[in-house]
Structure 1
Amino acid sequence: MMELLTSPEAWAALLTLTALEIVLGIDNVIFLSVIVSRLPEPQAKRARQIGLALALVFRIMLLSVLVWLIGLTQPVFTVKSMGFSWRDIILIGGGLFLIAKATHEIHREMEAREEGHVDAPAPNAFFWVIVQIIIIDLVFSLDSIITAIGMAEQLEIMIAAVIIAVIVMYVSAVPVTKFVAEHPTTKMLALAFLVLIGLALVADGFQFHIPRGYIYFAISFSVAVEFFNVLAKNNRKKTAKKTLKKPVQQGGG
């Protein structure tokens, strides 16, 4: 253990892997922010805590069974000379779930706007939010840990990087969730991101890798555009308030 603490290579591996895990965690934060936005704030806070705690548990559990995890990449059946492993099956299933969930949420959001009201959370909404978080945590954890295995050799470095990344995810999830809840247009944008991420997961499952740099660039560019839109909207509101507060000038006779 002391050798790792004094090794520059170990620290470099930790920093690189932590940065990578944080980037891979963006998907998880987006999904978590959207899925808890329909819950009342006390339940939303609990759902975030449970969801990210599960993400941490799943990642450490998967790291602890490296031999089994590596076996998930071995083909279990073949279709027209294309082999599919359990990892591929999980990624395809998780990607389809994300696409279906995002499409359903977009439909609900548009219906709510057309009818002029927001649906109240169902009595068992909290339970189903946790179930959905567990499903997506498993999918994202699997992809994240397989990436970690390919980048580092020491289990201690992998676990440390995962813990740091989940802490960063927890800190960022609160402002992201609040921002999504306060700005409906950003929620639609986040749902579009989920469709994009789901498509990338399905493509990975079919062994067609879409470089994540393209996806993260598209997300970053869209977020930047939306940031300026929100900024302009707030400025218009401030200008309108100032205009209303101005005293009416009396005309001279």
Structure 2
Amino acid sequence: MRQHSSNIFRLFLLFSFVALSSCGSRKDLVYFQDEPITDVSLSELDNNFQITYKPNDILTIDVSAEVSESVAAFNLPAVAYNTSGGAANQPTVLRQTYLLDPEGNIEFPVLGTVKMGGLTRVEATKMLKERIGEYVKEFIVNIRLINFTVTVLGEVNRPGAYTVEGERISLTQALGLAGDLTIYGKRNNVFLIREVDGKKKYAKYDLTSINVVNSPVYYLTQNDVIYVEPNNAKVKTSSYNPNTGVLISAVSTLATIAAIFIFRN
């Protein structure tokens, strides 16, 4: 009887240890824990609320005039395609786009290679007007960045990558798209990761301070990544086995059965 009791007690301790054992830690949960990519002053990340075009940006550029034929040569031809293949269906017209190469260049009709990287929309528009103006008069140039995307990760309600329709979005707007921080978000330690001149840089926000709206990086640029670190409560919560409740219930059932068996014997 004593041997049975001893074995059951040992089994009880084993189940208890498994039920209460840790299955996670801060090291397993938090992103970007090692040394910073490149620590820089905020002034180096300041974009003055205006984006500049970068390699891999995708642009649409429309040149229009009262007499459309006079500027037709400066526009990429639209491509028509039929997704269903049925003759009765109307084809879809797809506007062609410009992809900036690693040097920030595009191949523009008539003009050839054109440097767009590093220019704002206003600067790029002015430059194209000057160059196209050598061939025609009285025209309009309209440039639009169509892959302006910011990514929000970590303790937010809807993490993901978000495409921005315009060319300006603030930190708070980006967090709003992601459904705001969860209750577990560390509000005084929000990361920004940005690529500057081909190198990754980072900065931090303190959302508990009103002065965050005056930060030179309060307005985001394309491909920025925002990461909200989990707070200590989240880390501690993750450190417990998610099956703890089930295991404790199983241990209790086993203890009851063991007690019945011992008393019967």
Give the TM-score band, short-chain normalised: under 0.3
Report 1 or 2 for greater relative contact order, CA contacts < 8 Å, sequence distance ≥ 6: 1
TM-score (norm. length: structure 2): 0.24
Higher helix share: 1
Tell me the TM-score normalized by structure 1: 0.24
